[in-house]
Amino acid sequence: MCLPLDAKAPNQPLICALRPSITRRVPRLSVRLLAVAGISLWCVLFSAVGAGNAAKMFRWVDENGVVHYTDQIPPSQVDKGHAELSNQGVRVEVVPPAQTIEEIQRERELERLRAQQERLVEQQKAADRVLLRTFRSVDDLLMARDGKLAAIDVVIQVARGNIRRQQEWLRNLRTEAADLERAGKPVPQHVTEGIGKSERYIRESYATIVDREQQKEAIRADFDRDLKRFRQLKDIPEDKVEEPKEPSRLALRNLVTCDSSAQCDQYWALAVAYAKAHATTAIQTLGANILITAPPETRDDLSLTLSRIQEKDGAAASIFLDLQCKNPASTDTGCGDERALKILGAFHDAVTAPPVPPVPPAPPPVPAGPVGPPK
Residue from 98, 162, 160, 134 nearest 227 by CA:
134
Proportion of the chain above pLDDT 90, given as a percent: 39
Full domain range(s) for residue 337: 135-352
pLDDT of residue 228: 93
Higher pLDDT, 356 or 21: 356
Give the tens place of pLDDT for each residue, 202-229: 989 999 999 999 999 999 999 999 999 9
Is residue 262 a part of any domain in this protein?
Answer: yes
163 and 28 within one domain? no
Q: In total, how many domains does the chain have? A: 3
Give the tens place of pLDDT for each residue, 41-80: 544 444 444 444 456 788 888 888 888 888 888 888 877 8
74 and 23 within one domain? no
| Cα–Cα distance measured from residue 299 to residue 311, given in angstroms and rounded to the nearest whole number | 35
List of residues 6+ apart from 118 with CB closer than 8 A: none
Is residue 272 a part of any domain in this protein?
Answer: yes
65 and 43 within one domain? no
227 and 182 within one domain? yes
Is residue 281 a part of any domain in this protein?
Answer: yes
Q: Which residues pair with 320 in a beta bridge?
A: 255, 307
71 and 43 within one domain? no
pLDDT of residue 222: 95
Higher pLDDT, 72 or 198: 198
282 and 347 within one domain? yes
pLDDT above 90 (res 137): yes
145 and 65 within one domain? no
Helix (H/G/I), strand (E/B), else coil: 36: helix
284 and 306 within one domain? yes
| Cα–Cα distance measured from residue 235 to residue 301, given in angstroms and rounded to the nearest whole number | 51
71 and 165 within one domain? no
Residue from 291, 290, 293, 271 nearest 282 by CA:
293
pLDDT of residue 4: 52
193 and 82 within one domain? no
Is residue 251 a part of any domain in this protein?
Answer: yes
Is residue 165 a part of any domain in this protein?
Answer: yes
| Cα–Cα distance measured from residue 43 to residue 335, given in angstroms and rounded to the nearest whole number | 107
Is residue 115 a part of any domain in this protein?
Answer: no
Higher pLDDT, 290 or 370: 290
End of a domain among 95, 123, 157? Answer: 95
231 and 259 within one domain? yes
Average pLDDT of the segment spanning 175-200: 92
pLDDT of residue 20: 44
171 and 89 within one domain? no
Residue 373: which pLDDT band, with cuts at 50, 70 and 90? low
| Cα–Cα distance measured from residue 322 to residue 220, given in angstroms and rounded to the nearest whole number | 22
Is residue 121 a part of any domain in this protein?
Answer: no
Is residue 374 a part of any domain in this protein?
Answer: no
